[in-house]
Amino acid sequence: MKRHAKLVLILSIVVLIIAVPLSVLIISHSQQKKNSETVTYAAPLTLAAAPIYVADAKGFWHDAGINVKVSYFSSGAKALDALLANDADVMSVSETPPLRAYLNGAKINIISTMTEHREAKLTVRTNEISKPQDMVRKKIGTVPGTNSDYYMYRWLVANNIKTSQVTIIPFNNPSAMVQALVQGNIDAMFAWEPYNYDVTNEITALAKSYPTPAQLYSGRTTVVMNSSYLNSHLGAAKGIIEGLIKAVDYINSNPNGAKKIVMARTGMSIKSLDALWNEYDYKVELDNGLHAILNNETSWIKSSGGDGTNMGPSKIVNATVLLGINSNRVGSDFKH
């Protein structure tokens, strides 16, 4: 019996010696398989996209089980073009461009937002404009189809100024609009950061940027996917959102560390970051405020003849992923 017990003990030890490395190998292979798919993220270079930079730099997406390759673009509109051309799997931009694309038939979904911001602003040459009514008969620069373009129309209505009373000059490139204002070729511009800051920093004595009243506009930086990709890659979408949640937690608990990451990615100075930082509220959610914004912007887009469908604006939002992570992050307007 003693010999039999000894033999059983030896066999048990041998099995353990074999089984432990094998189990480690299986777990390692499983994790490798989980991280094998690469998701391409098209991101704009703007302070509003800070959670993307942080998630990428800190490895939060790898921790969530996915490989993410981030491609950077000079504007959210160009990042959206990459998504619509299937050159990216996910992208981020303020809500206006994807809503416009959706109303024109693009099959895309907003799966979350990650920033509430007030970066769409009015910047003026102070030698031409000191009060709202001074805008009459002046030249105003805008980038059509953007959230700052939407804010321009909201601002004009709020100040009882008709579009026929001003000269609206469209720009495809916000940098060109900045130079036009600096050189005095336009009198005012509606743009997003850091372009407003760039103007006031370059011609400090001749330019002023006005804070955006929350009752007129408070934008949302969205996370957008093509509907077909989302439906077939729910796991990847979940990993994207989980990584962004970690990034936002890091930003809110370690703003100085986050600023260093944003500086390295965008080239913005610490002076400009400190001046603008409090205009951004980083949080991963689908709040009822977004629902109201989408409705208001849809009315604006339709009134200007900018859509070709009768789709309801809230249908662009797909809350499935965020509901599965934490339903408290989803407003009641998106839960039905």
- Please, which pLDDT band fits residue 34 given cuts at 50, 70 and 90? very low
> For tokens 């370059």, what's the residue?
202
Question: Is residue 10 classed exposed, middle or buried when 0-12, 13-18 and 19+ CB atoms within 10 A define those classes?
Answer: exposed
The per-residue pLDDT for 5 is 53
Distance of CA 72 to the CA centre of its chain: 12
Q: Is the pLDDT of residue 314 over 90?
A: no
The per-residue pLDDT for 313 is 73
Task: Measure the CA–CA gap between 286 and 114, rounded to whole angstroms.
Answer: 9
Q: What is the CA radius of gyration of the chain?
A: 25
- H/E/C letters for each residue in 66-122? CEEEEEEECCHHHHHHHHHCCCCCEEEEECHHHHHHHHCCCCEEEEEEEEEECCCEE
- The mean per-residue pLDDT over the stretch 147-173 comes to 95
pLDDT in tens, 222-249: 999 999 999 999 999 999 999 999 999 9
Question: Running DSSP on this structure, what letter comes out for residue 144?
Answer: T
Contact call for residues 219 and 212 (beta carbons, < 8 A): no
Residue range 121-210 in CATH 3.40.190.10: yes
CATH topology for the 38-117+219-334 domain = D-Maltodextrin-Binding Protein; domain 2 (3.40.190)
% of the chain surpassing 90 pLDDT: 76
DSSP assignment string, 11-56: HHHHHHHHHHHHHHHHHHHHHHHHT-SEEEEEEESSGGGHHHHHHH
Contact call for residues 293 and 219 (beta carbons, < 8 A): yes
The per-residue pLDDT for 308 is 52
Tokens (6 digits) for 259: 């600023």
Q: Is the pLDDT of residue 21 over 50?
A: no
pTM: 0.84
% of the chain surpassing 70 pLDDT: 87
> For tokens 């007030």, what's the residue?
118
Please provide the average confidence, as pLDDT, over all residues in the chain.
89
Residue 319 backbone dihedrals phi, psi, to 5 degrees: -90, 5
The per-residue pLDDT for 7 is 52
The ranges assigned to domains in the chain are 38-117+219-334, 121-210
- Please, which pLDDT band fits residue 36 given cuts at 50, 70 and 90? low
Same fold: 38-117+219-334 with 121-210? yes
